[in-house]
Structure 1
């Protein structure tokens, strides 16, 4: 395992080319899973864990790693499967989600594969509503499942989705009730969080599940003689999405004369200076790490005020 992520920093140039690299891992001996390397900070043998009273059942404990105390979530337990055993022979994937660094306990870590987002597909329609998948793909004739980590985190450590009274007050006097926002996110949990936040402001929301769906929808508006920037005050898009990522969606929007002036906010669990550089490179107007309802609401209110000339 030593050195498996030595070149992660060099791999980030794939972002913005509708490409990604997946770190493949297993929770048992059968199913293969994947996580975007761009979110991974380190992979290590499971360290000694200290149990924390009253913590979520999926949190197997905390560990001191490089001077920081991190919660270690059992991904098997978190997705409805039996808890992982024999922790001394298990691994922890240290990752950053929604500005939080935490560890995911897995049985084994295999290899890194280079993929195109076009080959990352939405979950099959027959899996129902209670699954923990955000996407699937195939590698060497084997299905790889990509876990909806935002759903796992929302269940393990629920976050408030309520916009504060103070922020709601800043929306007073704006034309929020007459505004529409296009929301694009493949995670059903993240999508609902954003929608509820905007609805608290009285804003009408149109939602799409990935970049491909959103771009098709925008092109349909154009074909009908409508201008997307006049239909929507802004588009709030995730970055990591099957079939077409948010960077590529933004690039497509900017290259189309009929929609290039649309205001684009990339709202993502990815974070870091590199990501902000990519946001500027593809021409997005703004970037915000998930998910703080007040922060998101403030950006939307600011956008409304700017179009009102206030």
Structure 2
């Protein structure tokens, strides 16, 4: 498996080119699922798990990885499917989200594919409101479902979404109620988390599902205003991995546009890896914040909204 998961440094060359690498895996059947390689620290064959009494029903136990305990979540069961029975043939995707490390139990590993974000599409409209998909793509004539692991993790370990009173009571020299922050994120859970946090400090928020929609919204606003939009939309908060256009490509496009270049950009992502700070500078973003800490995000918004 180590040959399958090569180092992050070797994979950063595709970042900023609107490309991604998907790790393709299975749960209990032959349906292929995908997860961005950058979300995955390592893939291991499932070791002996230690029971965790009183835990969520979807938690299969604790794996001890080099002396570190990692909670293992049955990804099939957590998304409404059957539990993965044969642990001797199962694998664990070790990931980082919400500044914690966790493992997702999967039935099998297929391969890694390198594709363009334009090939990643939003979930079908008929999927309903309670699905666990952030996107889909076609691979070998099969529909690959990309799961919303942020939603899965938030349901099992809900994050603190409240902004502290100290942050709420900060005063600004600008009337923030007259300004708008655009938020681009393909995860409904993440969008709602950001909206609640910013609404609590009096910020108007517009939400879009992906980078392409964000760029279209900003350009339309520039056309409406007839020029620089930063007086009314001083800040864009963007996820990094999104269907059709990723956050890095979106940032570069915004900074290259005459009427959008003065908009501040915060990249807000669950993606881990040492490349983030370097990529922030490369594409011209103003800041990178790892999901999800409401006070840190609200403080950053207050900072960038106050700069004229």
TM class, shorter-chain normalised?
over 0.9
Q: Using the TM superposition, give the Cα deviation of residue 174 of structure 1 relative to its aligned residue in structure 2, in angstroms.
A: 5.3
Shift of 1:80: 0.7
Q: 1:90 to 1:221 in 2, by over 3 A?
A: same
Q: 1:43 to 1:257 in 2, by over 3 A?
A: same
Residue of structure 1 equivalent to 2:195: 195
Structure 1 residues 254-302: Cα deviation after superposition (integer angstroms, max 9, x where no partner): 1111111110010000133211100110000111000011110111112
Cα drift, residue 67 of structure 1: 2.0
- Cα offset, 1:230, TM superposition: 1.8
* 1:6 Cα deviation after fit: 2.8
Q: Measure, in 2, the Cα distance between the counterparts of 1:38 and 1:172.
A: 37
1:171 Cα deviation from its structure 2 partner = 4.0
Counterpart residue number, 2:81: 81
Q: Which runs of 5+ in 2 are unaligned?
A: none
Moved more, 114-123 or 95-104: 95-104
Q: Segments of 4+ in structure 1 off by > 6 A?
A: none
Q: Indicate the SS of the match to 2:252.
A: helix
Q: Alpha-carbon deviations, 1:161-201, whole Å to 9, x = none?
A: 11111111224665232221111111011001001110001
Give, in whole Å, the separation in 2 of the partners of 1:112 and 1:101. Answer: 22
- Pairwise CA distance, 1:155: 0.2
2:169 is matched with: 169
Which aligned pairs between 1:148-167 and structure 2 lie closer than 5 A? 148-167=148-167
Residues 223, 304 of structure 1: CA spacing in aligned structure 2 closer, same or farther, 3 A cutoff? closer
Q: Which residue of 2 aligns with 1:212?
A: 212
**Corresponding residue for 1:247?**
248
Cα contact 1:39–1:95 (8 A) shared by 2: yes
**What are the superposed Cα offsets for residues 67-103 of structure 1, whole Å, 9 maximum, x if unpaired?**
2110101100110111110111111111122322111
Distance between the aligned counterparts of 1:263 and 1:119, measured in 2? 28
The aligned counterpart of 1:14 is 14
1:238-268 deviations in whole A, cap 9, x for unaligned? 0000000000000001111111111001000
SS in 2 for 1:302: helix
Q: Pairwise CA RMSD of aligned residues?
A: 1.4
- Work out the CA distance in 1 between the residues paired with 2:178 and 2:265: 19
Residue-pair matches, total? 307
Q: 1:282 aligns to what?
A: 283
Q: 1:295: which partner in 2?
A: 296
Confirm or deny: 8 A CA contact 1:171 1:201 kept in the other structure.
Answer: no
Mapped contact 1:90–1:108 kept (Cα < 8 A): yes
SS at match of 1:219: helix
1:81-134 deviation line (CA, Å, top 9, x unaligned):
111101111111111223221111000001000110000000000111000000
Cα drift, residue 232 of structure 1? 1.0
1:29-40 map, 5 Å:
29-40=29-40
Moved more, 238-247 or 221-230: 221-230
Q: Which moved more, 1:137-146 or 1:28-37?
A: 28-37
